[in-house]
Every structure is written in structure tokens, then in C-alpha cells.
Structure 1
Amino acid sequence: ALATIPLFEKLPLIFVRLHAGFGDSFPLFLGIQVAVSFLVMFPSTLLFGMTFPLVVRLFTQSLYRVGSGVGTIYAVNTVGAIAGAFAGGFVFLPQFGIQMSIVIGAFINLTVGYILIVADPHPGRVRRSVLGSVAAAALVFLAVRLPAWDPRILTSGVTVYASRYKSLPTDSLRLEEMRQDEVLYYREGLTATVSVHRLHRDYLYLKTNGKTDGSYGDSLTMLLTGYIPMFLKPDAKDIAIIGLGTGMTVRAVGAFPVQSIKVLEIEPAMAEAAAFFNGKIGGILKDPRLDIVFSDGRNYMLATPQLYDLIISEPSNPWIAGIASLFTQDFYAVAKGKLKPGGIFAQWIHVYSMSPDDFRMVLRTFAEAFPHLSVWNMQESDFLLIGSTSPVSFDYPRARETFAANQTIRWDFQSLGFTDPYALQGFYRMSRKELSAFAEGADLNTDDNVRLEFSAPRSLGKPTSELNRGLMQSHWIAPSWEPFKHQVSQAQHHYLIAQSFYANGAYERALGESSRAIGLDAKNADYYLLQSRILATMDRSDDAFVAAQRALDLRPTANHTEILTLCENFYTRHAAVIYKRIIESGSKELLPYTGLADIALHGGDITQAGQWLDRAAKINSQDPKVLFTRGKLENAKGNASDAIALFEDTRKSGEDSASLFSALGEAYSKTRQWEKAASAYEMALKRHRKNIAWRLAWARALHHAGKYREAEEKYRELLAINPDFTDAWRGLKALRKRY
């Protein structure tokens, strides 16, 4: 067992190599999993099996007592197996983790083995005791010296993200990908390994068994999974949520005046992990209305007599073992029975890594359970199914009142890019009629056939999002203005729907809606700002610049934050125009000045860059943007030492961008501080892994620092990425290494 400990950390890379070498077929995928598991389990299992006859031999001294001896040993072995399974699952694993549990188990076996050796009455006991003591001491020393597993590697999720790792040509690049984040929380729980990771300075994500189950980037889906059903049922008082995750859905529900929120979470470690997302969920985990029950959601629903106004099922993906039972016709029947009259059931489902047949199966199964339903498309590949026993409608006047009176909801909607709850209409896709047409002829997923449990894993890793969305689109309903024409203008209708389409990733549809809004009201600056943002995202920089110009024409002295953010996507000549217009309006924003200084530096005009920075410094000389740009100016002048001081001050102020670290690397290289230069380039590449120029600079810095083996590895990585990279070949040649 101790000998397998170093192997565990290598299993993800072994899996990726085997997966890359033997293909993507599902039988091979399962075969590789079995082979990798066999690699670490078989030696220990074989040796465990050998202990029973050995113990029988030790304790059975007479043929006349074979039966009683074997029976006694078998009974003790059975009791030990039961006690060991209980202690391992409920004591050692939760308290000490897998690695330390293996070590503890090995120590227990060593102790028992030593006792057996000492107790053996056969001749030569002293010699065996000495040999046993030496062996035990050696193994104890080995166990103490074993390094702890790297949780970043163990949570890399290679079975789920195999295609990502296979695209990298070397193991060193794969390890770099696995180690790019910081692990804030890691817990090997009773049912799953839960971890929280931070990428760069402020991007958090939650993993379950290595698979990302929630992140800041998923805020739209997780918040709308709570907000959409709550705006459809604003008088809901008692709510049940299956799956805690990051807690964002709970926050959305808790923003309303509900009386109780029952969260059914099977893994206790998830509550500890969710606390790391307080920046997004506020104090909802301490809300007295919240009750987290650590239990299986399905079994709890079967057993509880309580009825709910709203039940939200937000489990993990159906291809995770056991999850498909939350998508069966039988479970939906149970959930429907736990709804109060007029209650709603909401089900999250995705279209990535899911075949059209499986997705249609989920929709048809859901439709069989609920007479009234609707389908909503949140983030690009995430859908929400709403089912009820009575008709449900969106009460916009009431929603608008709730929105105006509730600051939490306004904050969340603003973070998602919405200015009004009417934007929720833009996520509506299907009624029962359209869903039935799309899912016609699909199989049913029941407790008896559990089709989804066995078919869903076959699509793991397959790019099915666009396929599923393409098949659905002919059935989608365009959001209608007619039911709301007395509450919202037609121009506002198109503008707010454009906001939701943009958040959803449907950029062409968003652009169309924004154009219709402008066609109806060409004097609203907000419409042009949204259109500029859409066009910039679509890489139509020239058109985005025109729209931004029009917004400035209509509102020259308003808050320019959004336009300045857009300037980062413009060509420098267009950005310069916007910057100068904002400065001429009398704005005290720093970005126009630092932006113009950057543009001047890019053009080689050091004098003009200095002039713009001097004007910026009069506003705030210690702002990170000013310090950083001043550092780049000093570096361009050849004052690398002064540049380093400014860059380090920028870093201390909280800035941690890739461009800052690359500039630091360049300045440290100029001053021949090679180790610091290598460290800076490494940090830059963590933020922008595909930048070849920085990777080459990193290799050269390592070379100059005398770290030849590491430098060789980086040069070989560059040649693996691009076999025609002559500079990398020359680097290897300078190290006197062959390619």
C-alpha cells in the first residue's frame, strides 16, 4: 500500500497518455479506467489475499484443530473487515484524507504483522523479530518521507477534460495546465472530493471529484436558476433546493421574502466550500431561513411529509454515477407530489457532452410528469425546465415593483448586465407545445430502465452543444411584446431582450434586437452602448467604434466607464479618438490619459507618453494604472531599475495581470536578474499560457540562471508546440542538447 502512494499522483498523466494513445471509443475509455485502477489496486489486493492462509498456517498447529482454528480466524477477519470498512469510510477518510488513511492502514497492518511474528512459537523467533523490526522501521521511514499529494493534480479531472489535456503535446505542459490555479480548499469527503480553486487574483471555481460544478463564470446560470422560478412564483414561501454548489442559487431565492429554504446536499464538505463564495452569495449561509440537510435529495423527498411552493433540482451532470436517478419519470412524480397547489418544479439540465437522444429523453420524461411547462435557455449550454400542475405566467408589473424595492436583486441583475427584470423574457425558449414537438419519439428515463445512467457517459467530452442548440432552434419562440405593450415600449422591449441574448451568448440575435431598438428610438445612448459592446464581442471593432461614438454624441458628459472598458477592444486609432473626446468633456477618469500614453509608447513616442502620464499623475499619481504605465515608460527609456520599482509598486497595489508580469520579466532580464525574470515570466504564462514569446523568454531566463535542465524542458516544450521554432532549437543547441 505504501509503495502505491507515489503512483497515485501519476495516475492522471498515465490516464491521459493511454487515452491519447488508444483513441476515444467508449469501450476503450472504460478499459483505460479499469487498467489504471488495476495498476494501484491489484498489488495490495493480492497481498491482502495472501495474508489469510499465512495466518491460518501460523495459528493452526494441529490437524485436529484445523476447523476451529480456521473458523476463529475467519470470524476475526470478518469482524475486522466490517470495522475497517466503517472506520475507513466514516473516520479515517473524512478526518485524515486518502493518503494518510493508507499510511495509517499500513501501520496497523505492520503492527499486526509484527505481533504475529513475535507470537510465532516456531524456532528462529528472535531472528524473525529483528528482521521484522528492521523492515517495519524502513517502511515507517518511507511513509514519513513520502511527499503529500498535489491536490491540483488530483483534482485535474482528466476523465472529464481529457480532450483539453490531450491537446497539449508534453507531460510538462499538461502538469503546467493542472497547476495553473491555487487551491483554497480541499476536502476528501464521505461521498466526494470537494475543492475550491482560485485562478489569478479573484476568479473562483468549485470542483467535485475534479469536475467543475460552479464558478464565477457560471453566475448567470446559477443565479437565474433561482431568479426565474422565483419571479414566476413570487409568493413562494417554502422552497427546497437539491444541491448547494456555490450557493448562488440559494442567494437568488433568499433575495425574496420567503419563509424557509431547505437545501438538500449529499456531501457535507460542500457547505464549507460554498463559504469561499461569500463575495457572490453574501451572508446567505448564515440566514436563519436556511436549513442545510446533509442527505440524498431523492430519498429525502420520498420520506418527507412537507410540501413546498418551489422545488429546484440543480444536481451535477447526468453522466456522473448516480445522478441520473434525479432525472427519472418516477422521481418527477415524487417531486410533483411534494408541491403545494400552484407549486413549481425547476430542473437544471445542460446540452454539452450530451447526445441529442439523451437530451430529448430528459425533456420528454419531464413533460410526462408536468402538464404545464416551459423551457428557458440561460448560459449558452445551460437550460432550465419549469414544470407545474397549473398555468404559470410572468407578472411583469409585480416583478418591476419587486426589482425596484430590492437592492440585492438589482445588484445581481446589474452584475449580469440587466437593467430590468423584463430581460428575463429573453431566456424563454419553448412552451409545452414546442417541447413536445422537439422531443417526439424520444425514450423515457425511468427507475426500471435507467437508460440515462448508462447512455449519458458515452457522450462525455463530446462537443454536442451546438448540435443540440441547432436542432432546437426551429422550435424556439421569439419573445413577444404583445402581452406587455401597455407596460413597456417596443424599443425598450427590444433593448432588454438584447441584454438577455447578449448574456446568453446569442450575439447575432442580440445585435438584431439592439438594431430594432435603435430603429425605434435613435436618441437613446444606452441602446448604442449595448450595441457597441455586442459588436466588440463579435470582433467587429470598426462598427463597435461607430456605435460608441454615437453614444458619446448623445451623452457626452455621462459616466464613461463602459465606453472606456470597450476601448480595450478597439484599434488604437479608434481608442485614441474616444480617449481624447472623454478628456475634452472634462472627465477626471485616469484611463484616457494612461491609454493615450500606452498608445504613444506603442508608437515609439516617449515624449508624448510622458506628457500624458504627467497629466494623469496630477489626478492620482499612485493609481496602479499610472504606476504601471510609468514603469513601461521608464523601461522604454532604458531605466530598467526604475521600471522594476514601479512595477513592484503596481504589484503591491493588487494588480496581477499577465502584461504586468511580462513587463517585470523584461525589466529583470535587462538587469540580468535571471531568477526573478524566470519567476515573472512563469507568472505571466499562468495567466496567458499560449504566449510563445513569453515562454521563450522564460526558457532563456532559466538558461542564464544556470537552471539548465528546466531550460531544456522549456525549449523542448516550444518545439513540441511548434516544431519549426528555430529560436527554441538554437536554445537547445546552446545547451549542447540534441532535438
Structure 2
Amino acid sequence: MANARSARNSLVAALFVASGATALVYEVVWSRLLTTSVFGSTSQAISTVLAAFMAGLALGAYLLPPRADAMARPLRLYAVLEAGIGAYALAFPLLVQAVLWVYLLFATGRDPNAFLSILRFALAFSVLLVPSTMMGATLPALVRHAARSSSSVGRQTGIFYAANTAGAVAGTLLAAFVLIRTLGVTTTLVVTGLANFVIAGIAWRLGSDPVDEGADPEAAATDQPGHSSRLARAAMGAFAVSGFCALAYEVLWTRILVFFLGSTTYAFATMLAAFLTGIAAGSAAASRWVERVKRPAALLGAAQVSIGISAAVLLPLFSEVYTVVRAIGVGGRVTVFLVCALFMLLPTFLMGASFPLTARITAGRTGRVASTLGGVYALNTIGAIAGSLAAGFLIAPSLGIRNGILAVAAVNVLAGVAVLNAQSDARPWEAWLPLAVGGATVVFAFALVPRTQFFVKSAIYQEQYTRAGLEAEVLSYEENADASVTVIRDPEGEKRLYVDTNEAANESRWDAPSHRVIAHVPLLLHADPKRALVVGFGMGRTSNSIAQHGVHIDAAEISPGVPRAARRYFSEPNNGILDSPLFRLHINDGRNFILTTRNRYDMISTGIIHPLVSSGSSSIYSRDFYEMCRDVLTDDGVMSQWVPLHRVPLAEFKTILRTFLAVFPNTTVWYKYTPDFLILAGTAKPQTIDFRDWIARAQAPSVDADLGKDDLDAWSLLDSYFMGPQAVERFVGDGPLHTDDRPVLEFFGANLGGMMTTQVENIQAMAPYRESVFPLLHSFAGSTERDYVQSTLARYFDATEKLIEGQALLAAGGYGEAVSLYRRAGQINPDDPTIRYHIQQTDDLMISEVDAGILATERELKERLRSNPNDTDALMNLGLVYRNANRLEEAIHQFERGLGVEPEMVELHVVLGETHLRNGDADAAIASFTTAGELAPDQVIIQGSLAAIYQQAGRIPEAMDAAREVLRIDPSNALGYSTLGALYMSEGNLAEAVEHYDRALSLNPEPYVARVAWYEVGLARVRQERYAEAGEAFGAALKVDPTFGEARAALLEVQRLRDQQAAE
């Protein structure tokens, strides 16, 4: 009989595992539906939904258990509750639409205020009341079924609470990693609702027999007398406080872990799972021994004090996450997750153990098991509601994360001391010792952890500064309800703005185009823009650029700390836009603002927000969001979307473009500014560009000056057009869309490798689809202007091709190859300021890397020379280091020191000669190379260098002798013949020159030799007035190098001469 009952209870516990899983899936899905579709994703909105959900749990735990106490078959009540939850889940999407209708009735046209906060709670409470109330009643019903005496309540409570929490862990991970990703939100809701019906059916079947009210043989031996009412009240109060503290810790710890793990879906789900795992383990462990404990109140009090102490100790530990990870020796995000979970294990374990201990203390005073337990559970849930709301709205904004956690830890300690003090047999030290230890720990943690500790120890700060041996100055650190806002000054003196760990903006030239181009392109595409909306204010550059067009601006910014930081630290780059009469700021979630606005906009621009920043940031890339934007655009309105090229794999990159195109079929892509981002411009009508209007408005003084800050002008910006809708459609092909129901972009971060490699992949994948902007242009003054514009844009187009190739190489770290392509682009189109910027920027990058390498190498070589002053290799290498740094006199000194040790070292004579030449001393260079040639008479490079130096010095006979020496050593040396050809040309001996160039070309030389040889042959033929042959030679030079500008110009001149000759 006992074995059958035990087996049945095990099966019931398994059902409760499944029930816990479905409950957490519902919490995730329902919260997502209400915040994404209706209320917005501010912390206030999310906390309101969570509070309404938990209020229903508390109500169910308090109201329904008396029926369970009176029922002979409480498991049948549990089955009815599960079936009701499932039915409600299936109807939930329709209820959300009803809530949306009511919310819009009152919220449309209003900024967030107290009334709307109350309305949100009322609506969320009304729609979540029924299912969450039923969920809250399930635990008391099951414990009433299983606990056959008051002494076994603690054990059964622990078992079922642990089972339900373990299910919650599974539901959290399933929702985040599997269900929403593979099924989508709506299908997940349906599948989970059907699971509830399965649970209900099994429970109904198991609940056919009435509860046996007889004594439990095992329990009879362990029944304990009831505890005093004072102690029971203290235990219930402490458990309510425990609920408050647990949710406050969860909110505040999550805010800390954002600095180390980011705020992605994976990060939050994993941390919540770790939190719940600790609670489940604690509850399961306590259920095994709770009935045998003689002083459960002492353990409950000690647990609460220990939770507070461990939470305080965790503060300095959290800031050393990466120190621990490095000590383990296994890097990666999984290791960081595990370390953080390990840190939280002790306090969460003790939280879980507190429930069965409280149940043991309180339920011993009455036979109404379900009612008493329901009251305890309700109090804990009410405390949790208060903790969640207080942490988000009061503690974090007013005290900050560090002080907030310490304050909550102090409350935990005081609650534990109250329980210890309420014991009738309490020893005097049981109250004052925990109080002293807890207080000392809180004070110690406060002194040890500065306010900015978590930011300066964060993943992004470690990556950008600490590991590079750099340090930045923290100018401002503000903790809001939604995020932490930090402003730093980097080692180059530029200020940077961070929202949590996302670098939202900075003062650098590299970052600036992202913020300005998303304003200028769509406004110039619109014929007459009047009003614009910016989603995400950042440092204010985008809004300022819009203002240069005389357009009125609404800006929706979710975090109030961002505009405060912008006003204080970025008023110069944003030109004081916050005080402009054209500008109006709205502290609100962008989606919610668009949902509730009455305005219509000529342009909407989303902020510089990467889809990886947080679990909510990808929502501004969804089809649903674009449809909302489309609905508030004017008929000619333009939607502007910034799209990152970095940290977005090609498949997801195409998904972003494909989703945008699905809502805005007339989409154009704009790209060339930096290899970091592109702009999508979407309209309802096909896009055309009034050329004269574009030029006139882009060259207006205020707009032209703003473009000039990013090395752009009217022509360069026009040339940044990349492809039109048909090309975009071919590029993206078929594939998934990112929607609120199927948020595919939330789930790619876990498999992402490097940050830069996706730039290369995305740029190279797009490149074949690039198109000219010219077919979109109209309104020319006449055919002459039309032809001029077409030829000018063709030149820009060809040059930008080289620029884009170089950008891909730059993203891959190929600075030398990139600058070579940039220079070729500059030769094709010297008028493009964007190309000039890229050349300078890449030169600077190369110089900075070289400088860093020079310092390290110089230190190493000098250390070698201290050990051995006659180390000729070290002397030569140190000289080369100085030469590369253009410290030529120091280089010459090191080479001469080396020759003093080893005078017959050919390599030293060669590098010394090269350095003399760079230093402008041709005679000294000739002397060094002559000595090298005597020591190594059969080295082509030495004689070739001598020939070049003699030629440069105008000593033609000696140059010819050296060139002939090259051919003596290597009769098939094309460069030798080419050099002789050049020397004969300089003397006017055209026949000999052409003969030697022909010999060079017959040897299939390197392209750099061939292009010059063909070009020089062409010049010789021109001087001989053999224009047809000259044209062939210049054409051959262009075939070798299509970017050879001099050859192209010479070919055009030859054509003119031939036409002139024919006319004569």
C-alpha cells in the first residue's frame, strides 16, 4: 500500500515538473506578447506585466486552497486547474488584441504618465488574473493530496516545490533555446496549452481515489507539536521578506551580469535557469531532512542571514569573473555562464530551502494543510512582487546596483535575526552574532567595491582597454530603471557613450557617418520633408543632422540617462540639439511611441542599435515593427534603417534586408562610408531622384558643412547608392523573415565567431550586385548636363569599386593591400573626399601599428646588445627598425657599428646604401653599393640598385654599365632590359629604347615592368608620329593595369592626334 502511494506521489511530482515548465513558458510568451505588441519594452512595462502575473499567483495560493482542504479528491481540483490554464492559453492571442484596443483608446497621443502606468497594470492584471490564479492554486492542491499529516507538510512541500522549480528551469531553457526559435511564439503557446490538457488528463485519472486521512506510519513517529504563534508569524514574515529579496536580487544581479554576459535572450535565460536551479536544489535537499529537524526556526533564521551575507560577498566576486575564468584556463561564454551560476549557487540554494522550513513551522499549528500553505506561498509571492517593482523603479535608480544589493542583503539579515529572536528557546548570541557578522560583511563589501567597478571590469572594457594595456577615464556613471549609462574619455581623448555594455556612440570620425548618413540620405530622397522621427536618441548626432534640413524632430529614447549624458558631454557634436525649437524628446520605448502617436512622419530613422545588443533590440528589425512604421509614414515618407555589417553572419544579414524589403518593396541600399554599416531606404512608391534638387539641397551651407564632417559631399553621397529593389531581391533570395512571432535574429549570437569576419563576408557577397545611381536621376538642365553627370558618376562608380574592395581587405586586417586599392581609387577619382579619408585613415592605422611594433622590437634588440654589443644581426635589425621609423641618422649609425664589427657583411652595405639614398646622399649610397658589388659581384639586386641610383643622379653612362652588368649576371632579366630602354630614351635614342623594351616584354615580365615598358614604347612611337602603334602600346599598358591613368590619358591624346592626322 505504502509503495503504491509512493509511486503515485512520484508520478504526481513528475506532473508538477511538467506544470512548472509550462508555467515558465507562459510567463515568457505572455510577457513577450503584452510588452512587444501593446505596452512597450521599458522596465516599467515589463515589471508591470510580471507583477500582474505574480499577483495572480498569490491570489490563487490564498483563495482556492480552502476548497482543497475540504475536497476528498484534491488531485481532481489540480486537473481542473491545469485544464483551465491550457484553455486560457489557447485563447490568449485574442485577449491580447482586446487589451490592445482598450490600451490604444486611452494611450494614443499621450506620453507615458502615472495614469498609463495604472492602466497598464489594470489591463495586464485583468488578462493574466485567471490563468495565474489557477497556477497559484496548484501547489497547495498537490501538497493537500500528498501530505497525510501536518508533520509531513514540510517534506511534501519541499518535494513539490523543488519539482515545480525544476520544471521552471526546463521551461525557461526550452522557451529560450528551442520552442520560440523553432516553433515561433504562437505555436509555442498552442503546444504548451495542449501539454496542459495532457497533464490534466493524467491528474484526473490519478485523482479518482479519495485522500486517505489516516495517519502516515512514517509521519507518526515524527509528528511535532505546533510552534508558537509568534514564531509562526515571524517565519511567515521572513518568508515574505525572502520573496522580496529573491526577486530584488534577481533584478539587480541580472543588471550586473549584463556587464559580463550581455543582455541577449541566451544570457538572461541561462542566468534565470541557474537562479531557479539553486532554488530547486535547496528545496529538494531540505525536503529530505526537514521533518527530522528539532529547531527548524533556527535553520530558517540562519538561512536568511546567510543569504544576506553571501549576497554581499558576491559583489566583489562578480567583478572578478574574468579573473576566475582565466584561472580556470578554459575561456568562452559557457565558462563565464558556469562561473556566474556557481557564484549564485549558495544564496539561491538557501532561498529554496526556506520554503519547506517555513511550511514545517507554520503548518504544524493546523490541520488545514492547503490553506496554511497557500497563505505562506501567497505572502512569499506578494513579497516577490514588491521586490521586483522596488528593485526596478526605486532601488536601482535611487541607490544604484551596488548599494541596492547591500541594502537588500541587510534586509535579509534583519529578517533572519527576527526569526531567530522569536524562538522561545533562543540563545542570546543567536541574535546579536548574525547581526554583527552580517553588518560587518555589508560594510566591507561597500568599501571594497566602487560604484563603477562592474563597468571597468566588464567584457567590453576588458576587451577595448585592459587587455591592450590602456586605461580610460570614467566621466559619468548613471544607473536608471532601464539601463546603466556610462561616459568615458578614451586614451585618445575622445568621449564614448555606453548603454550597459553597448557602445551607443562616440566622438570619433569613424563612428560619425553611422549617425549622420541615416538622416541625410532619406531626407534628400524626400521631395519636401517637414517632420521626422528618430528611434533612439544616442548622443544626438542624427537629430542634429535632421535639423540642418529645417525639419521638425520627435525622438523616442527609452533611457532618460542617455539624453542627460548627451547634454552634459556631447553638446558639441550634437550642436545643442536638445534645446532646438525643432526638437522634442519623448522618454518612451520606440515601438510603443509609434503605436500610440497621432503624428505622421516624412521620415523615420532607427537608431544605431545592433540586433545583438539585447534580447529586445532585434525587435526594431522585425516585419511587425516596419509595418508599424509604414502606418505612420506619409504617402511619400521614407523609412531609414541602419544595418551593421560587423557581428552579423551572412544568412542573418540577408534576413534583415529580406524582412525590410517585404514591407518596403521599393528598397534601396546605400553603402561606401566605412566597412561597418549600410543604410536601407524604404518607400511605398518607386524611388527617383531629382538631380538638381539633390545637389542644391545637399550643397546648402548647413547640410554641406554637416556632410563635410564625414568627408562627404553631394556627389560622394549620391555615389553611395549601392543597389535597387530588384538587385536586393536577387541578393537576399528566398529565406525566413524576422517577425515578432518568429524572432530569428534573437538566436544567432550563440554561434557567432569573430567580430570582423562577417564584414568581409557581407561586403564581398554584396559587391557583385552593385548598381549605378544614374538610372534613378531626372530633371537635368539639358543633354550636356546629363552627359556630364553620367560621365562623372561613372568615374565615381569605378573609383568606389576599388574603395569597396579595399574596405573588405581592411576589415580582414590587410592594411597594406587596402591602402594600395584606396590609392588606385584616388587616382581614378581624386575628387571624392571619402576616398581621401580612407587613404589617410588606413595610413594612420598602419603607422600606429608600426609604432607599437617598433617600440617592442627596439626594447628587445637593445636588451640583446646589452648582453652582446658585437651582435651584428641585432645591430642590423635595430638599424632597420630606426629606418622604418624614418629615424635615418640613427639607422646609419647602427649599420656603421655593425660594419665596424664585420666589414665584409654584404647585407649591411646594402641596407646602409639604401638608407643613405633615403637620406638624400647619393654619393654615399653609390659608395656603399659599389663596395657591396665588389664583395658579391654576381648579385643582380646590387647592380640594379646602382643602375637606378646612377640614373637618378644623371650619370647615364655609369647607369648603363650597371644595367649591362645586370644582364651579364642574368641575361633573362626583364627589368635590366627595361632599365636600358629607359636610359636610351633619356638620350633620345628611340630605336635602341624600343628594341630593349621589346626584349623586356618578350620575357613575360611582372605587371609593374610590363605596364611601364608598354607605356614607354607608346611614348617613343608618338615621338616617331607612329600613332597607330602608339595606340596599341597604350592599350596594352591599360590591359595590364586598367587603372593606369597616364596611359588612359595618352590613349585619348593619340586618338585625337590620329583624328587630326586623318583630317589633314
**TM bucket normalised to smaller:** 0.5 to 0.7
Q: Distance in 1 between matches of 2:514 and 2:678?
A: 8
The answer to whether the 8 A contact 2:414-2:435 is kept is: no
The alignment yields a C-alpha RMSD, in angstroms, of: 3.7
Whether 1:114 and 2:413 are equivalent positions in the alignment is no
Task: State the match for 2:619 in structure 1.
Answer: 325
The answer to whether the 8 A contact 2:474-2:486 is kept is: yes
Task: State the match for 1:4 in structure 2.
Answer: 314
Whether 1:412 and 2:412 are equivalent positions in the alignment is no
> How far 1:92 sits from its partner (Å)?
0.4
Picking from 325, 334, 349, the partner of 1:46 is: 349
> How far 1:382 sits from its partner (Å)?
0.1
Amino acid at match of 1:267: S
Distance 1:256 1:145, change over 3 A: same
Q: Distance in 2 between matches of 1:52 and 1:536?
A: 66
Alignment of 1:414-563 (within 5 A): 414-418=708-712, 420-459=713-752, 461-462=754-755, 463-478=757-772, 480=774, 486=785, 506=807, 511-517=823-829
Picking from 119, 128, 141, the partner of 2:430 is: 128
Distance 1:376 1:58, change over 3 A: same
Task: State the match for 1:553 in structure 2.
Answer: none
Distance 1:183 1:141, change over 3 A: closer
Q: Distance in 2 between matches of 1:249 and 1:406?
A: 18
Q: Distance in 2 between matches of 1:312 and 1:540?
A: 32
Q: Distance in 2 between matches of 1:152 and 1:91?
A: 20
Q: Distance in 2 between matches of 1:470 and 1:181?
A: 35
Most deviating of 462-471 and 409-418: 409-418
Amino acid at match of 1:200: P
Task: State the match for 1:191 in structure 2.
Answer: 482
Most deviating of 198-207 and 224-233: 198-207
The answer to whether the 8 A contact 2:321-2:336 is kept is: no
Q: Distance in 2 between matches of 1:508 and 1:424?
A: 23
Deviations 1:64-121 (A, max 9, x none): 576665444333322211111110111101222211111000111122222222222x
Q: Distance in 2 between matches of 1:281 and 1:502?
A: 33
Higher RCO (CA < 8 A, seq sep 6+)? 2
> How far 1:466 sits from its partner (Å)?
0.7
Alignment of 1:366-377 (within 5 A): 366-377=660-671
> How far 1:345 sits from its partner (Å)?
0.5
Task: State the match for 2:697 in structure 1.
Answer: 402
Most deviating of 299-308 and 49-58: 49-58
Distance 1:187 1:540, change over 3 A: closer
Give the TM-score, by structure 2 length: 0.45
Alignment of 1:666-685 (within 5 A): none
> How far 1:364 sits from its partner (Å)?
1.5
Amino acid at match of 1:41: M
Distance 1:123 1:151, change over 3 A: closer
Task: State the match for 1:660 in structure 2.
Answer: none
Task: State the match for 1:148 in structure 2.
Answer: 450
Deviations 1:268-303 (A, max 9, x none): 222223232222111112223322222222233233
Most deviating of 467-476 and 63-72: 63-72
Give the TM-score, by structure 1 length: 0.63
> How far 1:219 sits from its partner (Å)?
0.2
Amino acid at match of 2:889: G
Find the residue that maps to 1:21 and give its secondary structure.
coil
Most deviating of 211-220 and 454-463: 454-463
Alignment of 1:109-258 (within 5 A): 109-120=412-423, 122-148=424-450, 150-151=452-453, 153-154=455-456, 156-158=458-460, 175-177=466-468, 180-200=471-491, 202-215=493-506, 216=508, 217-233=510-526, 235-258=528-551
> How far 1:42 sits from its partner (Å)?
2.0
Find the residue that maps to 1:186 and give its secondary structure.
strand
Task: State the match for 1:363 in structure 2.
Answer: 657
The answer to whether the 8 A contact 1:426-1:498 is kept is: no
Q: Distance in 2 between matches of 1:88 and 1:402?
A: 50
Amino acid at match of 1:385: L
Deviations 1:566-620 (A, max 9, x none): xx9xxxxxxxxxxxxxxxxxxxxxxxxxxxxxx9997379xxxxxxxxxxxxxxx
Q: Distance in 2 between matches of 1:55 and 1:540?
A: 67
Picking from 551, 554, 565, the partner of 1:262 is: 554
Find the residue that maps to 2:572 and give its secondary structure.
helix
> How far 1:387 sits from its partner (Å)?
0.5
The answer to whether the 8 A contact 1:11-1:36 is kept is: yes
Distance 1:128 1:427, change over 3 A: same
Task: State the match for 1:726 in structure 2.
Answer: none
Picking from 364, 386, 389, the partner of 1:86 is: 389
Find the residue that maps to 2:585 and give its secondary structure.
strand
Amino acid at match of 1:2: A
Task: State the match for 1:385 in structure 2.
Answer: 680
> How far 1:333 sits from its partner (Å)?
2.0
Q: Distance in 1 between matches of 2:436 and 2:454?
A: 35
Alignment of 1:501-650 (within 5 A): 506=807, 511-517=823-829, 603=889
> How far 1:457 sits from its partner (Å)?
4.4
Q: Distance in 1 between matches of 2:616 and 2:336?
A: 18
The answer to whether the 8 A contact 2:658-2:729 is kept is: yes
Amino acid at match of 1:332: Y
> How far 1:127 sits from its partner (Å)?
3.5
Q: Distance in 2 between matches of 1:248 and 1:429?
A: 24
Distance 1:150 1:267, change over 3 A: closer
Distance 1:278 1:497, change over 3 A: farther
Q: Distance in 2 between matches of 1:179 and 1:347?
A: 34
- Which ranges in structure 2 are unaligned for 5 or more consecutive residues? 1-310, 808-818, 846-850, 852-884, 892-1064
Q: Distance in 1 between matches of 2:611 and 2:704?
A: 33
The answer to whether the 8 A contact 1:494-1:516 is kept is: no
Whether 1:310 and 2:310 are equivalent positions in the alignment is no
Amino acid at match of 2:434: G
Q: Going by fraction, where is helix more abundant, 1 or 2? A: 2
Q: Distance in 1 between matches of 2:607 and 2:834?
A: 31
Find the residue that maps to 1:281 and give its secondary structure.
coil
Distance 1:436 1:43, change over 3 A: same
Find the residue that maps to 2:348 and give its secondary structure.
helix
Q: Distance in 1 between matches of 2:403 and 2:608?
A: 30
Find the residue that maps to 2:605 and give its secondary structure.
strand
Q: Distance in 1 between matches of 2:389 and 2:844?
A: 61
Amino acid at match of 1:197: I
Deviations 1:510-533 (A, max 9, x none): 544542346xxxxxxx78x99887
Amino acid at match of 2:677: D
Q: Distance in 1 between matches of 2:556 and 2:716?
A: 30
Deviations 1:28-49 (A, max 9, x none): x4x3353133123222111222
Task: State the match for 1:596 in structure 2.
Answer: none
Amino acid at match of 1:7: L
Q: Distance in 2 between matches of 1:537 and 1:299?
A: 40
Q: Distance in 1 between matches of 2:368 and 2:527?
A: 76
